[in-house]
Chain A
């Protein structure tokens, strides 16, 4: 069964002569437990495609299914609810809440989804332990290294046990060694939890961690090939 299905998705910004096609008839399927690397040059449509997959943007045409949810027709409120319950995001530079501790950053996601209490507390602790951050739980992001911050962001993305986790250039701010460690961790976590993942990256050194690499150029997806 697939966790993400994008069918003939097209995204056009502007109208008439000013229309810009960001994603053009993109069809992509990501199975459960599958990790797909999405690569492509700047301006190729990677971010737009990722945003559509995560319910941050609505496509101009086409259909998007995440698990059993057909999100194409969702309004803004429904998309907000969908994102907090079924999708995990890891952004460039981690983007943690700077005045919350590592553990609290994980609990934010649970709070937003209405999951409060000891169960959430325990899950955050378990995730941090699994990410090797048990002793950093009470540290603010400012006291964490780049790699540690990115691991906290991964924990936050996994907090609500999402069906799909989307990674936006997760290694762009890291050196090669740390980048590889983070990618290895991502692979371990998503595989271990049976979660589908799409990783946007422009770093070809990181693509071998994925099950599959998909390239996007001028908004068009190339036929998937084996991981590099």
Chain B
């Protein structure tokens, strides 16, 4: 392994091709992952922000907030299910908002809620909202009076919250009356009677399985479908499709990375057959030589990840804000681990050839 390491340090030019290719692949993987995460986070933040473990929709809504309704009687029935700790109403309406001094409408998701969640404090008085920080890019400022939808329902921005967008629209979080007013004035087709919410957010008692309570609610309350928070996130329009599409692209890119490593080390091994033969003749085992190859593959992958990561950070800084790229630590870890595994598998392709190198080939050659 010491030999392999010294070769890396003293003959870096030999590894530039593979390192360069893996650096470009790292950038591609991080950007693709960042785009997937950006899309996912921007689409799902309003749901992810909830501390409730379960979201209950009407059964015929196909898990869509905009099609769902939960009336007071149903809410009471949900509260009566074993394991349920609390139930609160939750709704949303997607509208365009006129921002003072801006000709373009800002796309907003106006939430109505009763209980604070992980990102949004308790509701403000009617007519006042918390705004998602993403709306700053649309010119929204603290104290702005926004006019919502065709009816120009007026709300005032009284505070900022972060990571609360919904289906790529910045969140505005108001009390029941603010939401109900925006809904009834701008979407008369979707108006709901007083006391009826689009969905119910359910928290469960400590130590109780949310999956079991969700199943009990669905089984015991007529006309509802209870989903865990993660199920509700996956049920949002396009989320599952985006994830599977990007996962396919990212998976294919990892395969390409593996092929690059495999091809590179296969060629490098061919080039070094004579040297390996001599080392075997003087007592190096196949395992020692293979370990050296693995060290080199891991070092190249590590170097490519570090360089690719820095370059990606630079690229993301100049990408326009409307492109929803978000670099999250988890993605970086997944990419790094993926590259390491890919490098290991790729380099392993050459093991068989190393094993087959005959130490006797060192004798009698020139």
| A interface, CB within 8 angstroms of B | 47, 50-51, 54, 56-57, 77, 80-81, 83-85, 88-89, 91-93, 95, 97-100, 104, 108-109, 111-113, 156, 168, 172-173
Contact = CB atoms under 8 A, between A and B. Distances in A.
14 contacts: A51-B360, A56-B359, A80-B283, A80-B359, A83-B281, A84-B282, A89-B282, A89-B362, A91-B363, A95-B275, A97-B3, A112-B282, A113-B283, A168-B363
A165 B363 CA distance: 13
A113 B279 CA distance: 12
Interface string B277-294: 011111111001000000
A100 to B, nearest CB: 6
Contact of A99 (B11, B279, B362, B364): B11
Given A84-B283, A108-B3, A93 B362 contact: no
Interface string B351-366: 0000000011011111
B122 to A, nearest CB: 67
Contacts of B181: none
A91 B6 contact: no
A44 to B, nearest CB: 12
A194 B198 CA distance: 95
Interface of B: 2-3, 6-7, 10-11, 274-275, 278-285, 288, 359-360, 362-366
Given A83-B283, A97-B278, 13 more contacts: A54-B281, A56-B281, A56-B362, A57-B360, A77-B285, A83-B281, A91-B278, A92-B364, A95-B278, A99-B7, A100-B3, A108-B279, A113-B283
Contacts of A113: 283
A109 B7 CA distance: 17
Given A84-B284, A109-B283, A47 B364 contact: yes
A7 to B, nearest CB: 21
If over half of B's interface residues share one DSSP class (helix, strand or loop), that class is named, otherwise mixed; here it is helix
A76 to B, nearest CB: 9
A85 B284 CA distance: 11
A50 B359 CA distance: 13
A112 B283 contact: yes
Nearest to A82: B283
Nearest to B364: A47
Contacts of A104: 6
B285 A92 contact: no
Contact of B281 (A77, A89, A97, A173): A89
A172 B366 contact: yes
A97 B272 CA distance: 10
User: Most chain-A Cβ atoms within 10 A of its Cβ — which of B274, B279, B288, B363?
Assistant: B363
A24 B80 CA distance: 96
A83 B362 CA distance: 13
A80 B282 CA distance: 8
A83 B282 CA distance: 6
B11 A111 contact: no
